[in-house]
Structures are given as C-alpha cells and as structure tokens.
Amino acid sequence: MKKELKTTEGAAPIGAYSQGLVVGDFVYTSGMGPLDPHTGEVVGDDVAAQTHQVMRNLGAILAAHGLGFDDVVKATVHLQHLKRDFAAYNEVYQSYFSRPFPVRTTVGSELMDILVEIDFVAHKSA
C-alpha cells in the first residue's frame, strides 16, 4: 500500500506526479527542481543556489513524514551541465549529509530551464 506525501513547504507538482510516496518503511520523492514552493518561480541563477533550493524542497517532503537527510539512502541527480557544475553542486549537496553518505547516481540531462533536479529514497527506521 502506498500513501501520498504532500507539503506546502516543498515545490508543488507541475504534472501528474506526487511530491512523495510512503511505501512500507521507505519514502520515495519525485525529482525536485529549484522552485520556490510559494511562488513557483526558479530560485537562483547558478547551480549552488539552485541546489540549496532543491535540498530545501526535498527536506520539506522528508519532514512531512518525520524524516531528515540522515534517513536518505539513495539519491539520483540530474545536472544540466555535468562537467561545468559538478564541483559546485557536490559541495552544496554534501553539506546536507553526514557519513555514511547516501548512494548516488549523478548524470547529465537536458532539463527545462533549471540546472539541477534531485530525487531521494529514504528509509524510516522502526
């Protein structure tokens, strides 16, 4: 059985998808972009600023189920400019986590007017 997670503190879906789903002990988030949850506008014009906003959005979705960044076990990251932006994105991204870091896949992708999109899988311990 799956339960939808919704919060006004994270970016609202702009298509046919949920912000997050709870399935058993796992939380799956949709890919989040750097949208302000209150205005729907892109926040930041560089990858560092956009990554911070993406992480705030994802953090809000996790918090809606009582989770935090330490509960994240997997991340998938899409960067518009992989070679150019990886170092700046990675510096911001790792500041949200402690060791052991989640497993992660980072790829270059064609994104619509944003520089970064991230989704998580998190696990809620008993």
What percentage of the chain reaches a pLDDT higher than 90?
89
Around Cβ 126, how many Cβ atoms within 10 Å? 3
- Domain containing residue 117: CATH number: 3.30.1330.40
Number of domains observed in the structure of the chain: 1
Mean pLDDT over each residue of the chain, to the nearest integer: 95
> 63-83 pLDDT, tens per residue?
989 999 999 999 999 999 999
Answer yes or no: pTM beyond 0.75.
yes
Residue 126 has pLDDT above 70, yes or no: no
Give the chain's length: 126
Question: Is the distance from CB of 54 to CB of 118 less than 8 angstroms?
Answer: yes
Is the pLDDT confidence value at 99 over 70?
A: yes
The domain of 62 spans: 2-123
Which whole number is the average pLDDT over 43-47?
A: 97
